[in-house]
Amino acid sequence: MNDSLSLRNRLNTTVRDIPRSGIRDFFDLVTTMKDVISLGIGEPDFDTPWHVRESTVFALERGATHYSSNFGYLDLRRALARYVAKTFGAEYNPENEVLITVGVSEALDLALRALLNPGDEVIYHEPCYVSYRATILLAHGVPVEVETRAENGFRLTRAMLEAKVTPRTKVLMLNFPNNPTGAVAPLSFYEHLSELAERYDFAIASDEAYSELWFDEPPPSALQVRDRSRVIVFQTLSKRSSMTGYRSGFVAGDPLLIAALKQLRPSIGVAPQTFVQRASIAAWGDEGHVVETRARYRAKRDLLLPAVRAAGLEPAGGDATFFLWCRTPGGEDAEACAERLLARGLVVAPGTFFGAGGEGHVRIALVPTLAECERAAQAFATLG
Ligand SMILES: Cc1ncc(COP(=O)(O)O)c(C=O)c1O
Over the stretch 119-177, which tens digit does the pLDDT of each residue have? 999 999 999 999 999 999 999 999 999 999 888 899 999 999 999 999 999 999 999 99
Q: Which 3 state secondary structure label does DSSP give 380?
A: helix
Is 54 a member of any domain?
A: no
13 lies in which domain range?
3-48+289-381
Is 324 a member of any domain?
A: yes
Is 59 a member of any domain?
A: no
260 to each of 29, 110, 112, 167, 326, how far by Cα in Å? Answer: 41, 9, 11, 22, 40
Is 53 a member of any domain?
A: no
182 and 310 together in one domain: no
- 1 has a pLDDT exceeding 70: no
232 and 211 together in one domain: yes
Is 123 a member of any domain?
A: yes
Strands 323-327 and 314-315: antiparallel
CB 367 within 8 A of CB 293: no
120 and 268 together in one domain: yes
Give the integer Cα–Cα distance in Å for 281 and 66. Answer: 17
Question: What's the length of the chain?
Answer: 384
State if residue 249 touches ligand 1 by the CB under 6 angstroms criterion: yes
State if residue 211 touches ligand 1 by the CB under 6 angstroms criterion: no
126 and 275 together in one domain: yes
- 247 has a pLDDT exceeding 90: yes
Is 156 a member of any domain?
A: yes
State if residue 106 touches ligand 1 by the CB under 6 angstroms criterion: no
Taking the CB of residue 255, how many other CB atoms lie within 10 A of it? 15
The answer, as to whether pTM is greater than 0.85, is: yes
Give Cβ neighbours of residue 318 (< 8 Å, ≥ 6 apart): 153, 154, 177, 178, 181, 182, 183, 184, 325
300 and 255 together in one domain: no
Q: If you measure from the C-alpha of residue 104 to the centroid of ligand 1, how many angstroms do you get, rounded to a whole number?
A: 6
Give the integer Cα–Cα distance in Å for 22 and 26. Answer: 6
343 and 223 together in one domain: no
pLDDT (tens digit, 9 = 90+) per residue, 295-321? 999 999 999 999 999 999 999 999 999
Residues facing 252 on adjacent strands: 98, 233
- CATH code of the domain in which 16 resides: 3.90.1150.10
293 and 328 together in one domain: yes
Give Cβ neighbours of residue 78 (< 8 Å, ≥ 6 apart): 94
Give the integer Cα–Cα distance in Å for 349 and 335. Answer: 8
Of 237, 252, 284, the one marking the end of a domain is: 284
Give the integer Cα–Cα distance in Å for 152 and 11. Answer: 41
Of ligand 1's atoms, which has the minimum distance to the CA of residue 238?
A: 9
State if residue 129 touches ligand 1 by the CB under 6 angstroms criterion: yes
- 102 has a pLDDT exceeding 80: yes
Is 230 a member of any domain?
A: yes
Is 8 a member of any domain?
A: yes
184 and 256 together in one domain: yes
CB 153 within 8 A of CB 125: no
- CATH code of the domain in which 216 resides: 3.40.640.10
Number of separate domains in the chain: 2
Of 230, 265, 284, the one marking the end of a domain is: 284
Instruction: State the alpha helices, DSSP H only, in the chain.
Output: 3-10, 13-17, 22-31, 50-61, 74-88, 103-115, 132-138, 158-164, 187-200, 255-268, 274-284, 288-310, 334-343, 370-381
